[in-house]
Amino acid sequence: MPLVSEGVLLFAFKYFILSNILVAIGIYVDRWAAKTIKGDNLAFVDTLVHFALGSVSWCMVICKESFVRNYRLYKELFLCGCLSSFIDIDHFLVAKSFRLRDALSLRQRPPLHCTSLLLSAILALVVLGNVLGKESARMGLLFLTSAYTHHFRDGLRRGLWIWPFGSTPPITNLYYVICSLTFPLLFNVILYSSEWKSWCGFGDRSIKSINIV
């Protein structure tokens, strides 16, 4: 048996490509947009970047699945991107206005941008999903992915709001990259734990032990 299975190598290749796309969007495209685009157009691009980061991050989580005529996966990518963008709706709700100027002139950050509360609530859904079944856990991880991608990107400029302790300083690019690449891998292991056991050879060892007996 080879030291690294073909499935692991294919997964690593996909993950590497998607990781580079994520970093390019999250840091370089974002930095370029902030310097060259102004006014309402910047807000529109900001929403698109959140959508792209959410979609790419979920693609990293499920990249070991085949996308050939698997329309459910495309729907999940679209849903994760939409949810990541939708978090900014709380700006308008708190401002009680649909005017972009009002939404961006809040004195404090709106509730869905509280990292500790939002991620704790969604993490509870993931745990509950594991009790209810695999599909519920999958949706919980999708919601969690959409939330942390939005918060980490905002954290590059404003830090993370960790209630009740306050806000952190703006996170560094290195911290952003490490977290953005580690979380999807962790969620992938959670989602496909049985396949990872098989890839690592645990499944084969159990079969051999049974045959010896």
Distances (CA, A) of 127 to 5, 33, 70, 76, 137: 30, 37, 27, 20, 7
Q: In whole angstroms, what is the distance from residue 90 CA to residue 109 CA?
A: 9
Q: Which two tokens stand for residue 87?
A: 């978090």
Residue 206 has pLDDT above 90, yes or no: no
Question: Residues 154-195: pLDDT tens digits?
Answer: 998 889 988 888 889 999 999 999 999 999 998 998 888 767
Q: How do residues 11-30 score in pLDDT, each as one tens digit?
A: 889 999 999 999 999 888 88
Q: How far is CA 176 from CA 1, 23, 62, 144, 148, in A?
A: 37, 9, 21, 16, 11
Helices (H) and strands (E) in the chain, counts: 11, 2
* Separation CA 200–CA 62 (nearest Å): 18
Q: Assess contact for 58 and 21: CB atoms under 8 A.
A: no
Distances (CA, A) of 136 to 68, 85, 99, 132, 133: 24, 22, 36, 6, 6
Q: What is the mean pLDDT of residues 85-108?
A: 79
pLDDT of residue 98: 74
- The whole-number average pLDDT for the span 46-62 is 94
Q: Output 122 or 77, whichever has higher pLDDT.
A: 77
Distance CA 79, CA 57 (A): 12
E strand or H helix that includes residue 104: none
Work out the burial of residue 197: count CB atoms within 10 Å of its CB; fewer than 13 is exposed, 13-18 middle, 19 or more buried.
middle
| pLDDT band at residue 136 using 50, 70 and 90 as cut-offs | confident
Which one has a higher pLDDT value, 151 or 3? 151
| Res. 212 pLDDT band, cuts 50 70 90 | very low
Question: To which H or E segment does residue 166 belong?
Answer: strand 166-167
Q: Give the pLDDT band (50/70/90) at residue 213.
A: very low
Helices within 38-133 (DSSP H only): 40-61, 71-86, 89-95, 100-103, 115-132
User: pLDDT at residue 149 above 90?
Assistant: yes
